[in-house]
Structure 1
């Protein structure tokens, strides 16, 4: 599998180099040399960004590799898509240019090359005839030879270069522009959304209870303390009753990312902040992070439940914890509760919705999918998740999936903007 992936990446890099560099620059030119060097260096940086954390390299080196390495992965995706779209435009552009030349009365280069060859042949034959070369040769024979069918058409190098540069330039502008806009969206910070959810069993006294849901913050070599502060400011601006951090807070150890997470201690809400693990916590030392978020004033829900104003709030560990014997335990979190009470479940991955339905959960809040993050990644996410983003019902259980507030890998989002969602609970008795 790994060999197949590497072979595919090598093929894609070769294709992008050919269309952006090989077809648009002169052999031996400075532009070609620079483009060829980049074609080797950028994938190496990407490989370094992907493997440096697990290889245990110093965090500062992870940061050095992360920005160019991850951004190139996003750029490669959208440059490839743009160039593939350009393949359909390329022959059309050639035809348009050829018609323009004919309309302007210009002799196409293909005809010109053939005419020059025919004229040279005729001149040579005429010289031979006048010199008596070859018995029976006449000027009529010479004329007949001059009118012989033209040589096969020869492509116009200047036209071919113009088309390659036009299509390559447009593809580069579209691909890199898409990545730039997607990066700005992540660095700007998540937008705040609002959703009202009627909840069975919720008493009138809890009508309007507001939960600020944030998932997939993904602190790491790229997104650090400033990213956390933007999220905290956005949440506090909504004045929520409760904050729910639904997993994938970090991509790295407490030693490296503890300072980046510190602003979370300043989250403000009437009933506190609650946290459940995501799959990336189990790549980063879940036990240490659970203890650290507790030190920051948050309340980890490890297969546990608490009673909040008028409803039960439960949380389960992520399914990735099963490899460490710390997976989700719905029986422990929900098995002995009073089902007449309203309930809200925090679970990182939406795939556990069937268990939530089984245990009579009223509302499950999840993340994990990033909404696909990079279009057309949403199509792949749909294959692995019951809901990729937004609100859906599964029997009597409601599910809301946040797109997340950060980004994994490339700090880029296309077609899946980051969000913080304020979920307002509504009572049927109100």
Structure 2
């Protein structure tokens, strides 16, 4: 198995190296002169940037100090997503290139036609001189080739410039969207068994903040202020709160202690808690005022709130146990389930859960990742019904890896429980 992992890893690295060389050819070599400063700078970028990306992924798992990881994480992660959009832009350029070459060549030929006609007339009128003139095109045959090369260079520069501008603008706007903080969404959820006195109960849903090498204390404060401003009755945090160890991230998660709701703040683990070491966070988060629901439930006004461990916990023998979480409950009361991954909805439906709240998908986070995420999850984002069970999936408040979102804005959702 280890050999297979190494072979696959080497193949992936080889593919990435080939794609970077392809981008260098199109964006640097085809648009600059050999030995020029722009070519030198472009070459350095296409060597150093991917090495930073590789160092970011390796360093975070190799136990480097959090300060060292953060120093390389920003440029490394941003290059990863910029590389994706540069590649998409260049591939679009490959489709446009022959069309532009054909269009500009046709225009050039049209401009040259009258001059060519004049030369032929003079040759016909010149008798013996026509033989000398007839040889003229053979002697000057290099000129159209030089013109064609110039035309190709200009088109290559235009396509490269447009592609780089589009990619940088997309990544820049996507980064701003993350750092600005999540927007608040308001969603009404009808529950058939909800008693009249519980109608209007407001649950603030927070997920996928991914506090770690990139998003730190300042971002945490933004999320906390956003959530508190909604004045919820209770706050539910449905996993992937962190990426890292308690010792490294203690100052960065400290603002979560300021979350305020009259009926409390509740947390369930996500897959990234298990990557980071779930038990340390299960032990630590109560100090920040969060009640961790480990396959258990609590009674809230008019309904039960249950929480299960993430599916990733199964590898440690500590996975979700909905039977345990719902044991002994009154079936006349509606139950709201916190489960990080939407895929758990089949289990929830089998147990008669009224509403499951999940995160995990990020709404795809970065296009075209949403296409893949949609295939892997029953619901990518929003409220959907599965028989008598409803599933709400938030796109999450933060971002994993690159602090960039495209076509999948971050959110904090306030679910208002209402009677049908």
- TM-score scaled by length of structure 1: 0.89
Secondary structure of 1:323's aligned partner: helix
Deviation at 1:14, TM superposition (A): 1.0
Secondary structure of 2:56's aligned partner: helix
* Superposed CA offset, 1:249-290 (max 9, x none): 000000111111111111111101000000000111211111
Deviation at 1:12, TM superposition (A): 1.3
CA distance in 1, matches of 2:12, 2:235: 40
Structure 1, 156-165 or 339-348: larger mean CA deviation: 156-165
| Structure 1: tracts of 5 or more residues without a match | 120-138
Task: Give the number of the structure whose alpha-carbon radius of gyration is greater.
Answer: 1
Does structure 2 conserve the Cα–Cα contact (< 8 Å) formed by 1:360 and 1:396? yes
Deviation at 1:141, TM superposition (A): 11
Alignment of 1:21-100 (within 5 A): 21-100=28-107
* Superposed CA offset, 1:357-416 (max 9, x none): 011100000000000000110111112111111111011000000000000010000000
CA distance in 2, matches of 1:24, 1:277: 50
Structure 1, 356-365 or 31-40: larger mean CA deviation: 31-40
Matched, 1:175 2:167: yes
Deviation at 1:339, TM superposition (A): 1.6
CA distance in 2, matches of 1:239, 1:140: 95
Deviation at 1:140, TM superposition (A): 9.4
Does structure 2 conserve the Cα–Cα contact (< 8 Å) formed by 1:305 and 1:313? yes
Equivalence for 2:257: 265
CA distance in 1, matches of 2:252, 2:400: 16
Correspondent of 2:145 among 151, 154, 158: 154
Correspondent of 2:14 among 7, 12, 18: 7
Correspondent of 2:315 among 319, 323, 326: 323
Does structure 2 conserve the Cα–Cα contact (< 8 Å) formed by 1:335 and 1:359? no
Deviation at 1:334, TM superposition (A): 1.4
Secondary structure of 2:284's aligned partner: helix
Deviation at 1:157, TM superposition (A): 2.1
Does structure 2 conserve the Cα–Cα contact (< 8 Å) formed by 1:205 and 1:310? yes
Does structure 2 conserve the Cα–Cα contact (< 8 Å) formed by 1:318 and 1:327? yes
Alignment of 1:117-132 (within 5 A): none
Secondary structure of 1:154's aligned partner: helix
RMSD of aligned residue pairs (Cα, Å): 2.2
Equivalence for 1:127: none
Alignment of 1:213-362 (within 5 A): 213-362=205-354
Secondary structure of 1:262's aligned partner: helix
Matched, 1:426 2:415: no
Matched positions, count: 402
Does structure 2 conserve the Cα–Cα contact (< 8 Å) formed by 1:276 and 1:317? yes
Change (3 A) 1:236 1:160: same
Structure 1, 215-224 or 92-101: larger mean CA deviation: 92-101
Equivalence for 2:4: none
Alignment of 1:186-201 (within 5 A): 186-201=178-193
Secondary structure of 2:69's aligned partner: helix
CA distance in 1, matches of 2:130, 2:267: 95
Deviation at 1:97, TM superposition (A): 2.4
* Superposed CA offset, 1:115-148 (max 9, x none): 9xxx9xxxxxxxxxxxxxxxxxxx7995597289
